[in-house]
């Protein structure tokens, strides 16, 4: 059977590079849809016509696709955000389903695991060869199996680490650290451990995934505050919402953001109010928005 992978990820998304090179270097064919992959009926027809056998897609797309509509698929890789148990069960009964995890700073993929129908937690998977996984819990840097009932921030080491951030030495020093003679990247992901391995619990900051794309609300706020000092960003129902205090025009703000941010970071809705709520320390009260 001809092997081929459907390239469903945005070229600006780091995992798309894995798809391109893994497919071509593995002797497979890369199939590129010439239409938005959210057109699910058209996507099913495209994959069936070309008898595509492999696909890599974020959970947000898997949730709205019916496995029976893709009979040629044999392997599906899911990553970029936590996969829920219901979606995992639907797909694991039909294909060989794999979870992939890893930050861009560690060359995209660092952990992988086959998902079975009894998937109950967002397990990261086993570290790939050469990858070191440590967990910073309190003041201690622990091997994952030493966590027991505790949790902490996942640190990743190994030759797969990037050198740092381009022309950002302070950020590089903050995120790439040396402990016990080894260099690690602080992922910001909070993880726990059980007999089945590491599993994702949340973030230590506001960074999150929106429809499979990595979004830093602080980055959007930086651009917002260039035109509206009293502003904030909050993720509501899986979408980006911007909040403006004062009389700044939402249309003006959106035009500014369109010219400065990628499309996946644009707010779905911009809300205006006389002033944003504040905490006792003077910070924007995100919970009150």
Domain boundaries, the chain: 4-126, 127-203, 216-288
Structure token pair of residue 55: 């696909």
Which residue in the block uniquely carries the two structure tokens 């019916």? Answer: 66
Task: Say what the pLDDT of residue 205 is.
Answer: 78
Task: Say what the pLDDT of residue 206 is.
Answer: 80
- Residue 42's Cβ-side half-sphere holds a number of Cα atoms within 13 Å equal to 9
Task: Indicate if the pLDDT at residue 36 is higher than 60.
Answer: yes
Mean pLDDT of the region 133-146: 90
Mean pLDDT of the region 11-40: 90
Q: Note whether 127-203 and 216-288 share their fold.
A: no
Task: Say what the pLDDT of residue 281 is.
Answer: 58
Task: Say what the pLDDT of residue 255 is.
Answer: 94
Task: Say what the pLDDT of residue 282 is.
Answer: 66
Fill in the DSSP letter of residue 101. Answer: E
Q: Does domain 4-126 correspond to CATH entry 3.40.50.980?
A: yes
pTM of the model: 0.75
Picking from 67, 73, 68, the residue whose alpha carbon sits closest to that of residue 53 is 73
Task: Indicate if the pLDDT at residue 149 is higher than 80.
Answer: no
**Per the CATH hierarchy, to which homologous superfamily does domain 216-288 belong?**
ANL, C-terminal domain (3.30.300.30)
Mean pLDDT of the chain: 90
Distance between CA 172 and CA 154 in Å, rounded?
17
Task: Say what the pLDDT of residue 213 is.
Answer: 80
189, β-bridge pairs = 203
Inter-CA distances, 64 with 46, 77, 203, 204, Å: 17, 16, 25, 29
CATH code reported for the domain at 127-203 = 2.30.38.10
Structure token pair of residue 111: 């952990």
Task: Say what the pLDDT of residue 52 is.
Answer: 96
Task: Say what the pLDDT of residue 245 is.
Answer: 92
Task: Indicate if the pLDDT at residue 289 is higher than 60.
Answer: yes
Lowest-pLDDT range of 39-43, 79-83, 133-137, 230-234: 79-83
Task: Say what the pLDDT of residue 279 is.
Answer: 74
Task: Say what the pLDDT of residue 182 is.
Answer: 95
Task: Give the distance from CA 125 to its chain's centroid.
Answer: 15
Distance between CA 269 and CA 262 in Å, rounded?
16
Task: Say what the pLDDT of residue 96 is.
Answer: 97
186 neighbors 177 (Cβ within 8 angstroms): yes
Task: Say what the pLDDT of residue 73 is.
Answer: 97
Distance between CA 172 and CA 183 in Å, rounded?
12
Task: Say what the pLDDT of residue 55 is.
Answer: 96
Q: How confident is the model at residue 2 (pLDDT cuts 50, 70, 90)?
A: low
């Amino acid at each position: 059977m001809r092997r081929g992978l459907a390239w469903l990820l945005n070229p600006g998304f780091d995992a798309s590079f894995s798809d391109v090179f893994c497919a071509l270097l593995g002797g497979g064919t890369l199939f590129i849809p010439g239409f938005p992959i959210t057109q699910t009926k058209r996507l099913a027809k495209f994959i069936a016509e070309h008898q595509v056998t492999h696909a890599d897609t974020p959970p947000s797309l898997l949730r709205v696709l019916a496995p029976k509509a893709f009979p040629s698929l044999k392997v599906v890789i899911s990553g970029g955000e936590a996969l829920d148990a219901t979606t995992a069960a639907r797909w694991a009964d039909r294909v060989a389903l794999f979870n992939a995890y890893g930050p861009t700073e560690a060359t995209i993929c660092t952990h992988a695991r086959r998902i079975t129908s009894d998937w109950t937690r967002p397990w990261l998977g086993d570290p790939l060869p050469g990858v070191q996984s440590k967990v910073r819990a309190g003041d201690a840097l622990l091997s994952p199996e030493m966590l027991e009932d505790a949790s902490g921030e996942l640190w990743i080491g190994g030759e797969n680490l990037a050198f740092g951030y381009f022309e950002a030495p302070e950020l590089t020093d903050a995120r790439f650290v040396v402990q016990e003679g080894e260099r690690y990247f602080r992922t910001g992901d909070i993880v726990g451990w059980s007999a089945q391995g590491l599993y994702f619990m949340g973030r230590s900051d506001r960074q999150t995934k929106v429809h499979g794309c990595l979004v830093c609300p602080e980055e959007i706020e930086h651009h917002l505050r260039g035109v509206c000092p009293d502003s904030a960003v909050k993720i509501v129902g899986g979408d980006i919402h911007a909040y403006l205090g004062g009389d700044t025009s939402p249309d003006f703000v959106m035009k500014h953001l369109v010219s400065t941010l990628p499309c996946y970071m644009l707010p779905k809705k911009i809300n205006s109010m006389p002033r944003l709520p504040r905490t006792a320390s003077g910070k924007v009260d995100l919970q009150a928005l």
